[in-house]
Amino acid sequence: MVKERHARGPYKRGIERRREIVAVATEVFGEHGFKGGTLHQVAERVGVSAGGILKLFGDKEQLLIAVLQNWDDATAEVVGPESRGIALLRGYLDLMSYHVRHKGLLELYATMATEASSLEHPAHEFMCERYRRVLENNRQLFRDAIASGDFAGMTVDEIRFEAEWLLAAMDGLEIQYLLNPRFDLERSFSEYVQRLATRLKAGDADIALTGLYDLEGLLVTGGGRYGAIRG
């Protein structure tokens, strides 16, 4: 039993150090991009050597993949991996609130989405696959909302366009927020989603989406998952 406790200590510290490095690398890559951000910058902020980072991750590209995977996992948890239809729209509202409170992740996303357009960029396949996945999730959102009776019927093309417009609205509003921190991302996206639901709803379907936020744009309920997140 004593040996097991001693074995856990270094292993636990290794996991914690990896998490710390990934968190700092998220800031560095978000601020400077993959090319501009260096292992030395990450190491200096963490308080370790660049060699220590290489020992844990292998190389800079593997560190970036770890950062992107961590970002992908975090956003999926906020949205709710099992959310469907209208619940997924509510999850996207939670995601906007999460991004306001974790701006570094949003900066990373915006930077990688631009840089990774190059075929040679190490995040190219990751970002392309994520966009494909999000678009398919959005298409399924509308299919599920139709099946549940919340949205009126749509053609395949109409569903495809709505999915593309939803993703474009999310990305566009997030970029506005990054360029102008006074821009109310939560409130603007909440208004967009409510208008979308009103436009597409089936008959007298009652779809409440804007109740997540108070008039100041602060998260009030957040679907019960992230209501406590602040700053």
Q: Which of 164, 170, 168, 159 is nearest to 200 (CA)?
A: 159
29 vs 62: CA distance, rounded Å:
13
Per-residue confidence (pLDDT) for residue 144, from 0 to 100: 97
Q: Where are the alpha helices (DSSP H) in 80-218?
A: 86-101, 103-115, 124-147, 156-179, 185-200
Per-residue confidence (pLDDT) for residue 20, from 0 to 100: 92
Per-residue confidence (pLDDT) for residue 9, from 0 to 100: 60
Q: Which of 230, 120, 98, 119 is nearest to 109 (CA)?
A: 98
* Widest Cα–Cα separation across the chain: 67
Asked whether the beta carbons of 63 and 52 are under 8 A apart, the reply is no
Asked whether the beta carbons of 100 and 186 are under 8 A apart, the reply is yes
201 vs 147: CA distance, rounded Å:
12
Each of the 231 residues of the chain gets a pLDDT tens digit; together they read 444 444 466 567 778 889 999 989 988 988 888 889 999 999 999 999 999 999 999 999 999 999 999 888 888 899 988 889 999 999 999 999 999 988 888 888 888 888 899 999 998 999 999 999 999 999 999 999 999 999 999 999 999 999 999 999 999 999 999 999 899 999 999 999 999 999 999 988 777 775 443 333 333 333 333 333 222
What's the first-to-final CA gap in the chain, in angstroms? 41
Can you list the pairs that 190-195 forms with residues at least 24 positions away whose Cβ atoms lie under 8 Å? 190/93, 190/96, 193/89, 193/92, 193/93
Q: Which of 109, 17, 98 is nearest to 64 (CA)?
A: 109
Per-residue confidence (pLDDT) for residue 53, from 0 to 100: 92
Per-domain boundaries in the chain: 60-224
85 vs 224: CA distance, rounded Å:
18
Q: What is the CATH number of domain 60-224?
A: 1.10.357.10
What is the model's pTM? 0.78
Output the CA–CA distances (angstroms, integers) from residue 226 to 48, 68, 118, 230, in the order listed. Answer: 32, 21, 35, 9
